Amino acid sequence: MTHMTKTVSTSKKPRKQHSPEFRSEALKLAERIGVTAAARELSLYESQLYNWRSKQQN
């Protein structure tokens, strides 16, 4: 029986910071063409857009 060892990467990629302007434009785009299409076009996760939208409403 051989044991497989997983190598765990300790170097995380820094998270991309988006400016408030980018977020605002992304949400406007999502309103126009839909969250799924906007996320795909902007290379974002849908959840990110939903997150920004809920934060903007508060």
Q: Is residue 48 in some structural domain?
A: yes
- Residue 57 confidence (pLDDT): 87
pTM tops 0.75:
no
Question: Are 26 and 42 a contacting pair, CB within 8 Å?
Answer: yes
Q: Is residue 28 in some structural domain?
A: yes
- Residue 14 confidence (pLDDT): 78
Domain count along the chain:
1
- Residue 43 confidence (pLDDT): 96
Q: Is residue 12 in some structural domain?
A: no
- Residue 8 confidence (pLDDT): 54
The span from the CA of 30 to the CA of 13, in Å, is 26
- Residue 35 confidence (pLDDT): 98
Tell me the residue range of the domain where 46 lies: 20-57
Q: Is residue 31 in some structural domain?
A: yes
Using 50 as the pLDDT threshold, list the residues of the chain that sit under it.
none
Q: Is residue 4 in some structural domain?
A: no
